[in-house]
């Protein structure tokens, strides 16, 4: 109700629904009055009755339109609010959560479940409210004219709710199974598209993946077929009950027709025949609403995920505007792990980096090099010890402010759709001249200055001389890996943080490009502290210090 617009807005929506239903009943009631007028007197003013009927009909159309607008506006606000909360929750959740949740499940929340909130949930809610009001009005109208009809009415209500309860208990489970069986299909598609080049390079992989996809689709098809069969099952039974009630209503009206005027008999018979349909539709829409609410619950499940940092944490202290000013780093007996209940990755790490110092971290795979760098970003869970950045414990710095104060160049660089300028400065905080200077500083590197032939999956394209207006396709596929690394370096030059982290950023490029990147770092980032994870001795041969790690400890 809160996301729908608040309590007052919800009350206004209920009032519009009640008004539209009263106008609808006024139409049939006025027709009965009109019919009764012919039996009471000889002359009937047709213009008066027709004009009144037209006025009621116009009021009904206006109120119905208003009711639809109110509900759709509330539904749009609710869907937008829930979508925004879902996006914020998924983007702010700890990164370890993404290690255990598949992309297919996340895609399912943003596609199937959000679609239910956008187009289905509001419609079913509106129909349930309108049908409930209609049911109360029909029962009241018929009971005042033909009290005996209360018996078949009670019988239909009992049958309808029994059938509906049986349908709901099964359909909710089947819908949940269908939603869960659709997630592996999304995951299969995303994984296949991500590894398309490897799949085409290996013989027989297309057939293997095709069979795997067909198996997952068969599981989903069985659940979807069960959903369809359940709808047919409840439809047959509700239609039979509706036909029986219509027959009973006609018989009762025929027996009691002598004691009641023709107009009122017609009015009661019309509502009696419509009553059975109203009950059935109410039961079905209530069941569908309960089923669709599972989508809302699935979205709420992700909306309520624990965020990486609470903005209201009283332990957070905003550093001064000039922070960081030196780039000094100090580890004091730091023990860190990726999850609170996981094994220790870093064990009692202590060292100090001076401002503008260039330090390399080396060691075998699994020695804790990347974990040490990620600890500076507060991606890991620090069990004990402290990490100080410019004299301030990073656990007491707001997470966004901390990550704004440093730059990381990862091994797998990501570019986003748009142009080069948007990729170098996504927040549009830098001046265009700074972007041009950063790109010009990297333009002397061979990988960036020479055009390269790349394939974006559909046709071969030649990357032209790169400028700020050069377009970037999805994932930067129209650039080579080396070019993406150099553009990531240019992004770091734009930001010019006091602390630069290179996580094996040059491991996949040739020696000439590696040497060029190191030369640009020495020339353009003299005032920054540099921490580099490297496997090549040539990359770090002129660094100030080298930290050798093994088993999560510093051994040299």
Do the domain assignments include residue 312?
no
Cα–Cα distance list, 269 to 36, 39, 246, 266 (Å): 15, 19, 9, 5
SS3 assignment, position 525: coil
Task: Look at strands 499-503 and 407-409 and give their pairing.
Answer: parallel
- Does the structure show a pLDDT above 80 at 389? yes
Distance, CA of 83 to CA of 399 (rounded, Å): 23
- The share of the chain scoring above pLDDT 90, in percent, equals 8
Cα–Cα distance list, 396 to 308, 320, 371 (Å): 14, 13, 20
Q: Which 8-state DSSP code applies to residue 119?
A: I
Regarding whether 419 and 276 lie in a shared domain, the answer is: no
Cα–Cα distance list, 46 to 49, 262, 454 (Å): 5, 18, 80
Residue with more model confidence, 195 or 348? 348
**Range ranked top by mean pLDDT from 66-75, 170-179, 487-496:** 66-75
* Tens of pLDDT, residues 328-372: 999 999 999 888 888 889 999 999 998 888 999 998 888 888 889
Domain boundary among 252, 269, 303: 303
Do the domain assignments include residue 281?
yes
Do the domain assignments include residue 96?
yes
Regarding whether 341 and 293 lie in a shared domain, the answer is: no
* Tens of pLDDT, residues 516-545: 888 888 888 888 888 888 877 877 888 899
* Tens of pLDDT, residues 198-218: 888 877 788 888 888 889 899
- Does the structure show a pLDDT above 70 at 445? no
Q: pLDDT band for 113, please (50, 70, 90 cuts).
A: confident
- Does the structure show a pLDDT above 70 at 109? yes
Regarding whether 359 and 233 lie in a shared domain, the answer is: no
Do the domain assignments include residue 316?
no
Mean pLDDT for all residues in the chain? 81
Bond into 324 cis (ω within 30) = yes
SS3 assignment, position 43: coil
Is 169 in contact with 234 (CB distance < 8 Å)? Answer: no
Q: pLDDT band for 43, please (50, 70, 90 cuts).
A: low
CATH number for position 419 = 3.40.50.300
Domain that includes residue 410, residue range: 329-554
- Does the structure show a pLDDT above 80 at 450? no
Regarding whether 299 and 345 lie in a shared domain, the answer is: no
Is 302 in contact with 109 (CB distance < 8 Å)? Answer: yes
Distance, CA of 513 to CA of 482 (rounded, Å): 8
Q: Comparing 18-32, 228-242, 337-351, 406-420, which segment has the lowest mean pLDDT?
A: 228-242
Backbone angles phi, psi at 306, to 5 degrees: -70, 130
Do the domain assignments include residue 511?
yes
Q: Comparing 1-15, 52-66, 444-458, which segment has the lowest mean pLDDT?
A: 444-458
pLDDT at 15: 92
- Does the structure show a pLDDT above 70 at 460? no
Regarding whether 362 and 216 lie in a shared domain, the answer is: no
Domain count, the chain: 2
Q: Is 443 exposed, middle or buried (0-12, 13-18, 19+ CB in 10 A)?
A: middle
257-261: long-range pairs with CB below 8 Å, 24+ = 260/145, 260/146, 261/36, 261/39
Do the domain assignments include residue 308?
no
Regarding whether 414 and 528 lie in a shared domain, the answer is: yes
Based on DSSP, count helices (H) and strands (E) in the chain, helices before strands: 17, 14
pLDDT at 19: 92
For every residue of 394-441, DSSP letters joined together read GGGS-HHHHHHT-EEE-SS----SEEHHHHH-TT--S-HHHHHHHHHH
Is the sign of the CA dihedral 527, 530, 536, 540 positive or negative? positive
- Does the structure show a pLDDT above 60 at 459? no
pLDDT at 453: 42
- Does the structure show a pLDDT above 50 at 457? no
Domain boundary among 303, 337, 367: 303
Picking from 259, 301, 293, 51, the residue whose alpha carbon sits closest to that of residue 148 is 259
Query: In 213-327, where do the E strands start and end?
Result: none
Domain boundary among 303, 338, 368: 303
Regarding whether 256 and 147 lie in a shared domain, the answer is: yes
Regarding whether 221 and 299 lie in a shared domain, the answer is: yes
pLDDT at 61: 93
Both tokens of residue 476? Answer: 């930067």
pLDDT at 66: 93
Do the domain assignments include residue 143?
yes
Picking from 301, 290, 280, the residue whose alpha carbon sits closest to that of residue 120 is 290
Q: Comparing 58-67, 109-118, 204-213, 437-446, which segment has the lowest mean pLDDT?
A: 437-446
pLDDT at 259: 61
Do the domain assignments include residue 323?
no
Is 413 in contact with 486 (CB distance < 8 Å)? Answer: no
**Contact partners, residue 233, CB within 8 Å, separation at least 6:** 167
CATH number for position 228 = 1.20.1560.10
Picking from 273, 242, 52, the residue whose alpha carbon sits closest to that of residue 157 is 242
Regarding whether 339 and 401 lie in a shared domain, the answer is: yes
Both tokens of residue 10? Answer: 């919800």
- pTM metric for this prediction: 0.68
Distance, CA of 203 to CA of 199 (rounded, Å): 8
For every residue of 213-250, DSSP letters joined together read HHHHHHHHHHHHHHHHHHHHHHHHHHHHHHHHHHHHHH
Regarding whether 373 and 480 lie in a shared domain, the answer is: yes
The predicted model gives 135-147 an average pLDDT of 77
Distance, CA of 521 to CA of 505 (rounded, Å): 12
Regarding whether 274 and 171 lie in a shared domain, the answer is: yes
Regarding whether 376 and 249 lie in a shared domain, the answer is: no
């Amino acid at each position: 109700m809160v996301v729908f617009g608040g309590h007052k807005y919800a009350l206004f929506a209920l009032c519009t629904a009640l008004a539209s239903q009263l106008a609808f009943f006024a139409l049939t009631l006025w027709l009965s009055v009109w019919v009764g007028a012919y039996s009471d007197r000889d002359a009937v003013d047709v213009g008066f009755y027709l004009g009144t009927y037209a006025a009621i009909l116009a009021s009904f159309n206006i109120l119905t339109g208003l009711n639809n607008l109110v509900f759709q506006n509330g539904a749009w606000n609710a869907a937008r609010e829930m979508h925004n909360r879902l996006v914020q929750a998924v983007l702010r959740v700890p990164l370890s959560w993404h290690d255990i949740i598949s992309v297919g499940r996340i895609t399912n929340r943003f596609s199937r479940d959000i679609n239910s909130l956008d187009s289905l949930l509001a419609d079913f809610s509106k129909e349930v409210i309108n049908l409930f009001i209609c049911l109360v009005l029909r029962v009241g109208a018929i009971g005042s004219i033909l009290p005996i009809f209360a018996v078949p009415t009670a019988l239909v209500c009992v049958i309808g709710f029994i059938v509906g309860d049986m349908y709901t208990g099964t359909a909710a489970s089947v819908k949940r199974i269908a939603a869960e069986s659709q997630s592996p299909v999304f995951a299969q598609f995303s994984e296949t598209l991500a590894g398309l080049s490897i799949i085409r390079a290996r013989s027989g992989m297309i057939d293997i993946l095709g069979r795997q996809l067909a198996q997952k689709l068969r599981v989903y098809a069985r659940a979807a077929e069960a959903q369809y069969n359940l709808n047919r099952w409840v439809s047959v039974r509700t239609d039979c009950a509706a036909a029986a009630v219509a027959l009973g209503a006609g018989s009762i009206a025929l027996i009691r027709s002598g004691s009641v005027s023709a107009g009122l008999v017609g009015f009661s018979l019309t509502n009696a025949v419509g009553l059975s349909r109203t009950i059935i539709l109410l039961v079905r829409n209530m069941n569908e609403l309960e089923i669709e609410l599972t989508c809302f619950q699935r979205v709420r499940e992700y909306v309520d995920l624990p965020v990486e940092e609470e903005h209201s944490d009283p332990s957070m202290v905003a550093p001064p505007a000039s922070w960081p000013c030196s780039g000094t780093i100090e580890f004091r007996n730091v023990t860190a792990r990726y999850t609170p209940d996981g094994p220790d990755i870093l064990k009692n790490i202590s060292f100090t980096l001076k401002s503008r110092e260039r330090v390399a971290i080396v060691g075998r795979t699994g020695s804790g090099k990347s974990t040490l760098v990620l600890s500076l970003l507060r991606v890991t869970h620090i069990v004990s010890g402290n990490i100080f950045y410019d004299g301030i414990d990073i656990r007491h710095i707001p997470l966004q402010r901390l990550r704004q104060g440093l730059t990381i160049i990862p091994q797998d660089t990501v570019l986003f759709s748009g142009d080069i300028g948007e990729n170098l400065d996504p927040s549009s905080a830098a001046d265009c001249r700074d972007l041009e200077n950063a790109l010009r500083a990297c333009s002397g590197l061979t990988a960036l200055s020479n055009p390269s032939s790349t394939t974006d999956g559909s046709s071969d394209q030649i990357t032209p001389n790169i400028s700020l207006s050069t377009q970037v396709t999805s994932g930067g596929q129209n650039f080579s890996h080396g070019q993406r690394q150099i553009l990531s370096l240019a992004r770091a030059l734009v930001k010019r943080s006091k602390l630069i982290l290179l996580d094996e950023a040059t491991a996949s490029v040739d020696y000439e490009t590696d040497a060029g990147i190191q030369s640009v770092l020495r020339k353009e980032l003299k005032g920054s502290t540099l921490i580099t994870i490297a496997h090549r001795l040539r990359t770090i041969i002129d660094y100030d210090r080298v930290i050798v790690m093994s088993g999560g400890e510093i051994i040299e």
